[in-house]
Amino acid sequence: MNMKLSGYMLLSLVLSLALHLLLMLFLSRMTFPASRLAELPTEEAPKRVPNIQTVDVRDLAKPKPSPNTKLNHLATAGIKAELSGISQQVNSELAEIGEQAVREILQKENLVTPAPAPSLRFAGVDKAILTPRLPNAEPPRQATAPRPEIVAIDFNDLPPARQAAYRGDVIPGVERIDVPDLHLPSLLPHGPLTAATGATYDVGIKLGPNPKFGIPEGIGGDVEDTPSAPAASSSEDLATLLKKGALAGGGGRDGQDIVLKPLAAPDIKQSPKPFDAFVDVIVTVWEDKKNGGGYFKIAITPNRESDSLRDIPKDTLIIIDHSTSIDISKLRQFKSAAVDALSYLNRQDRFNIVGFNEKPEQLFPDFVPLDVTSLAAARAYIRNLYRGGMTDVFGGIAPFVQKSNRIAQRPLNIFLLTDGKSTINIYKEDDFIRRIVEMNPGNVSIYPFSAGQDANRQLLDFLGYLNRGYNFHVPDLKQFKSQLLSYIGAHSSLIIRDLQYMIEGEVGNEIFPKRLPHLYRQETLEILGRYSPQDTELVFTLAGRDAEGNVRDLVFRRQYRDCQTASEELPLHWAAKKIFHLLSQRTLTEDPQERFRLNQEIQRLGKNYNIYIPY
């Protein structure tokens, strides 16, 4: 067997050598034309073509997560590394600064108890025989308190209803660092809880000559009685008292009197009330060194002071597509997310549930308050939705947009769970959106939620954008539920509605979005713009209404050169916002010339900023 195998190997080797010799002989006799040789690549390395990667406009225009959400693992790890590198000396300095800041705040709010006043006791008469023997005076003692400790509560451990009603800031769960220095922010030294006591002083009488009382001669002869100021009545206001002369002016500088003018009567008409103290405004700028000017972003975030603003009552409508076009796994996610979303609604609001296929069916005849009975009925209704029937997306949403809640001052949020693909009563995307926009009374915001690759993104994107909302699309169905719950939870507390802005100069033409959403307590409102080389200052006014219907405004001005430097991606985000605006204008117009002009501008922006536009 081994001899046969060796023979086969030897034979194959001989045949292979013979085949190679014949091939070499054949190639040696071939000739190549000079023109063909010129086309062959030379020894010079080929030029590398730059690889330019485009960005989808939908990704750039997507809203960022709420600032109250937890940091990701990389950011948390970075914070841990930074904190661990802080020395004890720096910790001590920061603690002293914090202690002083806490002290100033408490003193400003009259929350600091003054130190005990010194007490006096009668110690008898000097040189008197019967002077009583008093116990030793108690020495002064400063109040002390135990070292403060931080009590941490994990936000994820709270029930959904408590998370939705949360009003504070979520602090990242970083690892705490034990600072051995006792100079922590505290108004009292560390020690057992003890009260402060003041010093005690002995007071006695020293014997001496009898005093003589009387007025020296020649003093007071020219003194006249000075009439006293009229008594101030508690029922009179300051302006009336000033007019009557009840309050005298004090001495001014250089011996001059201070003249107090009567206070002007308050205007009876409604005037805007500022809400500057309730929000933090950060303006970042990216300078365009090539063309001049630059880009800016205004980020408006409600702060802790916004807790004093009452929630604006609103209504929530959850519309669920359960037609045959929604597969079983997607419908299961729709139903599960909708059931859990009920726990994130504001308990001061009203709600209703609608399921649709070829026709809509609403759970309650009208919006109802959130209570135990209505929530139980809603959960049962959602769980009993089954897959079947044709799909009429327009018929599933249009009646509720048109009817609204019949209260212009009460916002209505519609959360639409669908793929946006109708099988009956089919409209073209632009026609569908135009009809909905025309019938929207103005207080309806639409938030489509979709998942997967088969969703009608063009319809859902601009259905939300043109109705004061946004289409939240996730490619992975597993992320659908968390996306919906996160958004509804962050938008449960509405504090300023119907926002509008005014801005000085031509820069107002390059600000996006043109129509602002409402301001929610746990969301950051972002406004992007572009300024020209001649612009040096941003003057911005934002106005809306609070829960009482009062007009609230925010006015600020910033020098562009004094603003923080933004990320280099800011121009891309601005261009995406403008492209979305132009696409929405193209959707609303039916004029062919206007659509052509808008298409030219959209293509130019996409090319200049290297943005992919799928519409």
216-250 confidence digits (pLDDT tens): 444 444 444 434 344 434 344 434 433 444 333 33
Cis omega (within 30 of 0) on the bond before 63? no
Residue 10 or 403, more confident = 403
Whether the predicted pLDDT of 186 surpasses 50? yes
CATH assignment of the domain containing 426 = 3.40.50.410
Predicted confidence band at 50 (pLDDT cuts at 50, 70, 90)?
very low
How far apart are alpha carbons 451 and 484 in whole angstroms? Answer: 11
pLDDT at position 79, please?
38
pLDDT higher for 10 or 335?
335
Query: CB of 589 within 8 A of CB of 582?
Result: no
CB atoms within 10 A of CB 29: 6
Domain that holds residue 472: 315-492
Largest CA distance in the chain: 155
Give which of 467, 472, 420 is closest to 444, Cα–Cα.
Answer: 467
Residues 6+ apart with CB under 8 A from 557: 537, 538, 539, 540
Q: Are residues 583 and 487 in the same domain?
A: no
Token representation of residue 485: 């719950």
Are 483 and 336 in a shared domain? yes
**How far is Cα 144 from Cα 142, in angstroms, rounded to an integer?**
6
Q: Name the range with the highest mean pLDDT among 17-21, 87-91, 95-99, 292-296.
A: 292-296
Indicate whether 478 and 575 sit together in one domain.
no
DSSP 495-519: EEEEEEEEESSGGGGG-B-SS--PE
| Chain position carrying tokens 């009563």 | 425
573 and 482 part of one domain: no
* Residues 359, 477 within the same domain: yes
In this structure, what token pair is assigned to residue 347?
């308990």
* More confidently predicted of 115 and 408: 408
- Residue 285 maps to a domain: no
Name the region of 245 (left: φ>0; alpha: ψ -120 to 50; beta: rest): left
How crowded is the C-beta side of 389, counted as CA atoms within 13 Å? Answer: 16
Q: Which of 377, 333, 357, 347 is nearest to 484 (CA)?
A: 333
Same domain, 488 and 573: no
Q: What is the pLDDT of residue 220?
A: 42
Burial 513-545 (b: 16+ CB within 10 A, else e): beebbbbbbbbbbbbbbbbeeebeebebebbbb
Buried-state track 257-266, b at ≥16 Cβ within 10 A, e below 16: eeeeeeeeee
What is the pLDDT at residue 573? Answer: 93
> Which phi and psi (to 5°) does residue 487 adopt?
-70, -45
Nearest to 71 by CA among 154, 172, 163, 176: 172
* Whether residue 499 has pLDDT greater than 90: yes
Q: How many domains does the chain have?
A: 3
C-beta of residue 173 within 8 angstroms of C-beta of residue 70: yes
> For residue 157, what pLDDT is reported?
75
Residue 45's pLDDT is what? 46
For residue 37, give every residue at least 6 positions away whose Cβ sits within 8 Å of its Cβ, in sequence order, or none: none
Predicted pLDDT of residue 180: 55
For residue range 197-208, list pLDDT tens digits in order: 766 666 666 555
Q: Is the pLDDT of residue 138 over 80?
A: no
Mean pLDDT of 302-325: 94
Domain contains 82: yes
Q: What is the pLDDT of residue 487?
A: 87
pLDDT of residue 153: 76
DSSP assignments along 525-548, one per residue: EEEEEEE-TT--EEEEEEEEE-TT
What percentage of the chain carries pLDDT values higher than 70? 63
* Gyration radius from the chain CA atoms: 39
With a CB cutoff of 8 Å and minimum separation 6, the contacts of 402 are 439, 441
Query: What was the pLDDT predicted at 600?
Result: 95
pLDDT tens for each residue of 333-390:
999 999 999 999 998 999 999 999 999 999 999 999 999 999 999 999 999 999 999 9
Taking CA atoms, 228 is separated from 223, 225, 232, 249, 578, in Å, by: 15, 9, 12, 14, 71
Element (H, E) at 274: strand 273-274
Write down the residue that tokens 């699309």 correspond to. Answer: 473
Average per-residue pLDDT in the chain?
Answer: 77
* Residue that has been written with the tokens 């002007």 in this structure: 264
Tell me if 469 sits within 8 A of 446, measured CB to CB: yes
pTM: 0.62
Query: Does any domain span residue 584?
Result: yes
Q: What is the pLDDT of residue 470?
A: 87
Q: What is the pLDDT of residue 474?
A: 87
- Which residue among 445, 462, 492 closes a domain? 492
Q: Does some domain include residue 116? A: no
pLDDT band at 152 (very low <50, low <70, confident <90, very high): confident
Tokens 């602002």 found at: 516
Among 539, 564, 541, which residue's Cα sits nearest to residue 552? 541
Residue 213 has pLDDT above 60, yes or no: no
Question: Are the CB atoms for 570 and 287 separated by under 8 Å?
Answer: no
Q: What values do phi and psi take at 376, rounded to 5?
A: -65, -40
Residue 143: its pLDDT value, please? 76
* Measured distance CA(282)–CA(527) in Å, rounded: 11
For residue range 560-600, what is the model confidence (pLDDT) as tens digits?
Answer: 999 999 999 999 999 999 999 999 999 999 999 999 999 99
Average pLDDT over residues 96-121: 69
Residues 326 and 475 in one domain: yes
Model confidence at 70: pLDDT above 60: no
When pLDDT is cut at 50, 70 and 90, the band that residue 72 belongs to is: very low
Looking at residue 483, its pLDDT comes to: 86
Distance between CA atoms of 28 and 23, rounded to whole angstroms? 9
> pLDDT-derived band of residue 279, with 50, 70 and 90 as boundaries?
very high
Q: Identify the helix (H) or strand (E) that includes residue 555.
A: strand 551-559
Give domain status of residue 402, yes or no.
Answer: yes
Helix 592-608 and helix 570-588, axial crossing angle in degrees, nearest 10: 170
Output b/e per residue, 212-224; b: 16+ Cβ within 10 A. Answer: eeeeeeeeeeeee
Whether residue 441 lies inside any domain: the answer is yes
User: End of a domain among 492, 514, 545?
Assistant: 492
Residue 271: pLDDT band (50, 70, 90) is confident
pLDDT at 61: 63
320 and 467 in a single domain? The answer is: yes
487 and 610 inside one domain: no
Give me the pLDDT at residue 71, please: 35
Confidence of residue 17 (pLDDT cuts 50, 70, 90): confident
Please indicate, yes or no, if residue 125 is contained in any of the structural domains: no
Q: Above 60 in pLDDT, residue 537?
A: yes
In a domain, 442, yes or no: yes
Q: Which band of pLDDT confidence, cut at 50, 70 and 90, is reported for residue 265?
A: very low
Please, which pLDDT band fits residue 155 given cuts at 50, 70 and 90? confident
- Going by DSSP bridges, is the β-strand pair 200-205/279-287 parallel, antiparallel, or unpaired? unpaired
Hey, what are 104's tokens?
């100033």
Higher-pLDDT residue of 483 and 298 is 298
Answer yes or no: is pLDDT of 81 > 50: no
Same domain flag for 179 and 325? no
Note whether 180 and 323 are same-domain residues: no
Higher pLDDT, 251 or 552: 552
Q: What is the pLDDT of residue 172?
A: 65
Q: Are residues 476 and 614 in the same domain?
A: no
What local confidence, expressed as pLDDT, does residue 142 receive? 73
CA-based nearest residue to 324, from 297, 357, 350, 364: 357
Last residue of a domain, one of 454, 471, 492: 492
Amino acid identity for residue 434 in this structure? R
- Distance between CA atoms of 91 and 180, rounded to whole angstroms? 10
- Residue 605's CB is within 10 A of a number of other CB atoms, namely 18
Distance of alpha carbon 33 from alpha carbon 216, whole angstroms: 138
Residues 448/464, Cβ–Cβ less than 8 Å:
yes
What separation, in Å, do the N-terminal and C-terminal C-alpha atoms of the chain show? 72
State the burial class of residue 98 (Cβ atoms within 10 Å of its Cβ: 0-12, 13-18, 19+).
Answer: middle
Least confident of 40-49, 545-554, 574-583: 40-49
